[in-house]
Amino acid sequence: MRIGKLCRQTVGTVAANVILGITWGGNMQLGRPTRKLQLLTLLLGLLFFSSSVTYAEPPLPLDLDDSRSALSIGEEMERSSQWLDAVRHYERALERWPEDENLKYGRRRAQVHFRVERRYSDQSFKNSLLGFSQDQALDLFDETASRIRNSFVDPLSQLSIVAHGTESLYIALANPKFVEANLPAAITDEEKQARRKSIQNFRSVLREQYWNKQVYNSQHARSVIVEVTRHASESLKIVPAAVVMEYVFGGCNALDDYSGFLTADRLSDLYSNIDGEFVGLGVEMKEEKDAGMLLVNVLPESPASVGGLRKGDRITWIDGKDIRTASIDEAAAMMRGQVGSRVKLRIERPSDKRDWEAVLIRRAVQVKSIPVAEIVDVEYGIGYIELSGFQKTTAEELDAALEKLGQQGMNALVLDVRGNPGGLLTAAVSVLDRFIENGVLVSTKGRTGDQNWTYRAHRQGTLNVPLALLTDGDSASASEIVAGAVRDHSRGTIVGRKTYGKWSVQSIFNVGRDTGLRLTTAKFFSPDGHNHSKTGVAPDVLVEEPVEHNVAWRGNNPEDERDADLERAKEILRRQVK
C-alpha cells in the first residue's frame, strides 16, 4: 500500500471518553505466551477511535450545499487546533459526500494531529519513550514493524509502514504540542519566523525525498529512518527518539481503525480492564470544550459515587488547576494516583446551577459487568439484566443474576447490551452458552492457524425462557457476537437499533519495555458464517431512537422516564409467556 499525494487514506473516528483507571474498553481473549511475548487476543469494541457513548452531534448547516464549504469549516477547526471537532465534522460531511478525497484526507490529517496530541499528553510516553537513545528507538521500530508484517490480518509491506511514519512526522511538525516539546523555544518574532521557515524547509525535504521512498527490507527501512533523524537533528535540533517514535506510532496508521501502538499507561489500563478492577475514582468522562470534563458515567460504590458525583456533573478544577481548556488525557493524568492518595476536584452541576469542591481518596474499584438485574414485570415474571461489558467476572455475575431472578419468579428475560462496547471473547461465549443448547456460537478466521477457532455450545445449564435482546448503535464486538448467535439460532427477539458493525479480532503483543502493540489478526463470524463488518446486526423489531436521546450517556439514559426499547421488549415477551 502506497500513500497518495498527501497520504489520502481513510481513518476512523475518535474516542473522546475515558474511565479513570481504564482507558477504552475492548473485547479480549487471553491466550498462551508466544516466544515469551504475552499475547492477548481481543475482539475490540469501540476502543481505539470510536466512542462508546452517544453524542449530541449538531447536523451540518442546512445551507451547506457543497463539499468545498464543508472542507473550509473543517480546516478552520484545524487551524484552531480543534482536532476532535474537526474529525467529527469531516465524518458528518463524508456522510453527505462520501467520495470527496479532500474531506477524507482532512479527516485523516485531523486524526493524526489528535493522536500526536494524545501521545504528548501521555506521561509514560514523555517520561519513557522520549528518553530512548536512537538505537533503542530504532530497535523498537524494528520489533513493531516485524510484528505487524508477521501478524496483521492483511499482508503489509515495509514501504507502507515507513511511508505512514513519514506522513506522521510531516503532520506532527505542524502540531503545536509536538513543536513545543521538541524544538528549541522561539521567543522573539524573528526567532519564531526563523523556526517556521526551518520547519517548512524540513517538511519540503520529507515530501521531496522521502514520500513513498522505496524500502527494500527491514535493514533498509532502518537506514532510511536514520537519514531522516539526521536531517531533523541538523535542521531543527530534534532528538532522534522523537523522530523515530513518529515512525513507531505513525507506522501503525497504515493499519485499520482498531490497531495501534500502546504506551505503558495504555497497556496497563487495558490489562486492568480485563480484570474488571482498577485504581482510581470510578468516573467515565468526556472533554467539553472550555467547560471541563463531563461525567458520562459514575460507577456504583466508587470513590466518585460515594463522594456525591453523578452523571451530568462537570469537573472544572483538579488539585487547584483549572482544566476547562485541558485535554481529556491531561485531565486523566492529573486524576491518576496511588491507592490511598487524595485528589481535590471542583464540580459543577448544571441541573442545580451550583458548584462545590470534593476531596476523593483513590482506591481499587470493581467494575461490574451486570450493574442491574431485576424483575421489571411482576405479573408476567419478566426479568431484566443490563450487561455493560464482557470481562473475567461476567459468567459468574450472570449466573448469580439468573439465580436471583429465577428465585423471584422469572419466566422471560430482557438482556440489554445497549452501549456495550465489548469485552472478553470467552465471556461472550459463556453468556451465549447459558441460552443456546448446541451448535456453533462464533468462529474466528485469520492469516495464521492459531487465529482459527470455533466455539460451540454445551447443553448442560442452558436456560430456555423466552429472550429479548436490546441493542443499539453502540453495541459492538462481543455484543455483536451475542446478537449474531441469537439471530442465527432464532433464540430470541432483537429489539432496538442496528449494532455498530465491528467484526474483527485483535491481539495484544508486548513489545519493547512495558509497551504493547494492538493488531487486527482475524475476523469473526456468526454461527451461519456471516461477518457483519460495517453493517451491523439489524434488529427484528426496530425502535426509533427518541429525538431527545442525544446526551453523552453510556447506553440508555436511566433518567429517561420511559424506555421505549424495554417497553417494546416487554410487550413481545408477554405474548410469549402466555
Q: Is residue 451 located within the same domain as residue 567?
A: yes
The answer for residues whose C-beta is within 8 angstroms of residue 233's C-beta and 6 or more apart is 239, 240
| Statement to judge: residues 332 and 445 lie in one domain | no
Encode pLDDT of 262-273 as tens digits.
999 888 888 777
Going by the DSSP 8-state scheme, the letter that residue 130 receives in this structure is G
3-state secondary structure (DSSP) of residue 48: coil
Q: Within a domain: residue 165?
A: no
Q: List the catalytic residue out of 477, 479, 507, 526.
A: 477
- Grid coordinates given for 480: 455483536
Residues 316 and 449 in one domain: no
pLDDT band at 413 (very low <50, low <70, confident <90, very high): very high
Is 387 within a domain? yes
Note the pLDDT of residue 297: 83
282 part of a folded domain: yes
Range from 213-222, 331-340, 397-406, 440-449 carrying the lowest mean pLDDT = 331-340
Contacts 24+ apart (CB under 8 A), 402-408: 402/434, 402/463, 404/373, 405/373, 405/374, 405/375, 408/375, 408/383
Return the pLDDT at 450.
87
456 and 548 housed in the same domain: yes
What one-character DSSP code corresponds to residue 363? E
pLDDT of residue 334: 86
Select from 50, 557, 560, 15 the least CA-distant residue to 286.
Answer: 15
One domain for residues 570 and 502? yes
Same domain, 281 and 410: no
pLDDT digits (tens, 9 = 90+) for 366-386: 888 999 999 999 999 999 999
Point out the domain boundary residue: 366, 391, 425.
366
Q: Annotated catalytic, 197?
A: no
The confidence band for 201, taking pLDDT boundaries of 50, 70 and 90, is very high
Across-strand partners of 358? 345
pLDDT at 277: 65
Is there a domain that residue 267 lies in?
no
Are 359 and 388 part of one and the same domain? no
8 Å CB contact between 232 and 210: no
Where does a domain end: 366, 398, 417?
Answer: 366
Quick one: 308 and 433 in the same domain? no
Judge whether 209 lies within some domain.
no
106 CA to centre of own chain: 21
- Residue 557: inside a domain: yes
Instruction: Write down the catalytic residue from 286, 392, 498, 502.
Output: 502
Whether 434 and 508 map to the same domain: the answer is: yes
The DSSP 8-state label assigned to residue 313 in this structure reads -
Domain hosting 306: range is: 277-366
| pLDDT of res. 367 | 82
Determine, yes or no, domain membership for 513.
Answer: yes
pLDDT above 60 (res 26):
no
Average pLDDT over residues 464-470: 97
More confident call, 127 vs 352: 127
What percent of the chain lies above the pLDDT cut of 90? 67
**Cell numbers 491481539 correspond to what residue?**
507
The reported pLDDT for the residue numbered 140 is 97
Pair 255, 161: CB distance under 8 Å: no
Whether 322 is in a domain gets the answer yes
For residues 389 and 509, membership in a common domain is answered with yes
pLDDT one-digit tens code per residue, 106-135: 999 999 999 999 999 898 999 999 999 999
Same domain, 296 and 422: no
What is the Cα–Cα distance from 178 to 200, expressed in whole angstroms?
Answer: 15
Nearest Cα to Cα of residue 142 among 75, 72, 70, 218:
218
d(CA 62, CA 165): 38
Q: What are the φ/ψ torsions at residue 378 (nearest 5 degrees)?
A: -65, -40
Burial 489-523 (b: 16+ CB within 10 A, else e): bebbbbbbbbbbbbbbbbbbbbbbeebbbbbbbbb
pLDDT value at residue 546 = 72
Confidence of residue 92 (pLDDT cuts 50, 70, 90): very high
* Residue 502 annotated to the active site: yes
| pLDDT at 550 exceeding the cut of 80 | no
User: What pLDDT is recorded for position 411?
Assistant: 97
Give the residue-averaged pLDDT of 297-326: 90
pLDDT of 336 above 90: no
Instruction: Tally Cβ neighbours within 10 Å of residue 351.
Output: 9
Structural domains of the chain, count? 2
Active site residue 139: no
CATH number of the structural domain spanning residue 321: 2.30.42.10
Same domain, 351 and 420: no
Is the separation of the CB atoms in 43 and 481 below 8 Å? yes
Measured distance CA(291)–CA(477) in Å, rounded: 32
Selected catalytic residue, list 488, 504, 565, 570: 488
- List, in sequence order, every beta strand (DSSP E) within 25-162: 28-30, 39-42
- 193 residue type, one letter: Q
Residue 255 grid cell: 493499519
Q: What CATH number is attached to the domain comprising 444?
A: 3.90.226.10
pLDDT given at position 285: 87
Using the 3D structure, point to which of 366, 400, 430 is the last residue of a domain: 366
N- to C-terminal Cα distance for the chain? 59
